[in-house]
Amino acid sequence: MPNRFCAICGKKLVQDDPHFGMCLKCFLKEHPLFKLPDRLSINICLDCGSYSKKDIWIEPLDNELFSIIKEAVQKFLLKSFLKKNNIDFSFAVNENSFIFSSKDLLVSLEVEIIGVLKEDSNIKHKQIISINLNHILCKNCSNLRGGTYFIAIIQLRVKDEEQFGLIKEVLDEVNDYVENLFEKNHKQYISKIENQKFGVDLYLSTNELMNYLIKFLKSKYFFLLKRTKKLVGRDTQKGRNLYRLKALIKFLPVKIKDIVFIGDQNFSVENITKNKVILRGENATKLIKDYTYFFNEKIIKKNL
């Protein structure tokens, strides 16, 4: 083989330098493994650690600042490379580049991104990216701090004062349930509880939470459920209508073993199914009534 030389630096080429007439070093300079923007600006939520580039907030896998930064770099800069899966990336944070705000928040830093081609570790590239961090509140957390946000309402109602104890019991259970849920997902919370004459209104942060709560209550209580949906506006960004959902829950005013006076006879509540109440009269007659009966009729309950 005749002597060949690098077209760029003039270095003598060797057998494993078949890089278009260039030595490996010059080849990599001309054809870097990857090319990223020099800067990246990320929003990080002060309260929950979610991050975003524009409007869409992403919950991080890990809440530690540097792993949030790493995750954001992977998502916003390296996504297409990671999809191809042909380069191994590693990160090095330059501590000397740290700039802190007056409130001691890290607002700027440099991160070196090193990539090595999987099939040939001689082919590598590194690039320093300067990252700006904007510490703000995500939509959800600012709603949370504001305490006024809600998109669904559950109305819990009883028929008369006699059942007020039930409302209290249900509220305690609902609060426990939602607190647990909130621990796992900060989007789910009750933003307001309003007292009403025969119960309470719960203002909920999501429609999803409303469905969870209905399911939860169904497993424990008997009630009539009426759902309504009201158009309240339009999300112009997403181009869709916004609805406020309402669920009215009317707790059945009788429970198993209650004695109810119907017609001219006392009946005891023998069983309650998903939508019927099964009663047994003094003379063993069986009576089946819909839930609605107990709301529409004035029923006289006799306590044992």
Contact with Zn ion (CB under 5 A): which of 6, 77, 190, 202?
Answer: 6
Q: Which segment (40-48, 105-113, 264-272, 277-285) binds Zn ion by CB under 5 A?
A: 40-48
For the chain, give the DSSP string.
Answer: ----B-TTT-PBP-TT--BTTB-HHHHHHHS-S----SEEEEEEETTT--EESSS--B--SS-SHHHHHHHHHHHHTSHHHHHHT-EEEEEEEEEEEEEE-TTS-EEEEEEEEEEEETT-TT-EEEEEEEEEEEEE--HHHHHHHHT---SEEEEEE-SSGGGHHHHHHHHHHHHHHHHHHHHH-TT--EEEEEEETTEEEEEES-HHHHHHHHHHHHTT--EEEEEEEEEEEEETTTTEEEEEEEEEEEE-S--TT-EEEETTEEEEEEEE-SSEEEEEETTS-EEEEEHHHHHHS--EEE--
Determine, following the binding rule CB under 5 A, whether residue 141 of this chain makes contact with Zn ion.
yes
Q: Which segment (102-110, 114-122, 134-142, 153-161) binds Zn ion by CB under 5 A?
A: 134-142
Size of the site for Zn ion (CB under 5 A): 12
Integer angstrom CA distances of residue 2 from 5, 87, 168, 217: 10, 34, 93, 85
Contact with Zn ion (CB under 5 A): which of 8, 262, 278, 299?
Answer: 8
Q: Which segment (25-33, 248-256, 269-277, 296-304) binds Zn ion by CB under 5 A?
A: 25-33
Contact with Zn ion (CB under 5 A): which of 45, 133, 178, 249?
Answer: 45
Q: Which of 19, 250 has the CB closer to Zn ion?
A: 19
Q: Which segment (80-88, 132-140, 168-176, 280-288) binds Zn ion by CB under 5 A?
A: 132-140
Determine, following the binding rule CB under 5 A, whether residue 14 of this chain makes contact with Zn ion.
no
Q: Which of 64, 172 has the CB closer to Zn ion?
A: 64
> By CB under 5 A, what part of segment 49-78 binds Zn ion?
50
Please state, in angstroms and rounded to a whole number, the distance separating the CA atoms of residues 283 and 259: 14
Determine, following the binding rule CB under 5 A, whether residue 47 of this chain makes contact with Zn ion.
yes
- Beta carbon of residue 22, minimum distance to Zn ion (angstroms, whole number): 5
Q: Which of 8, 106 has the CB closer to Zn ion?
A: 8
Sole residue written with tokens 């590194």? 126
- Beta carbon of residue 217, minimum distance to Zn ion (angstroms, whole number): 29
Please state, in angstroms and rounded to a whole number, the distance separating the CA atoms of residues 112 and 116: 13
Determine, following the binding rule CB under 5 A, whether residue 23 of this chain makes contact with Zn ion.
yes
Q: Which of 47, 110 has the CB closer to Zn ion?
A: 47
Determine, following the binding rule CB under 5 A, whether residue 44 of this chain makes contact with Zn ion.
no
Determine, following the binding rule CB under 5 A, whether residue 144 of this chain makes contact with Zn ion.
no
Determine, following the binding rule CB under 5 A, whether residue 28 of this chain makes contact with Zn ion.
no
User: Which spans of this chain sit near Zn ion (rule: CB under 5 A)?
Assistant: 6, 8-9, 11, 23, 26, 45, 47-48, 50, 138, 141
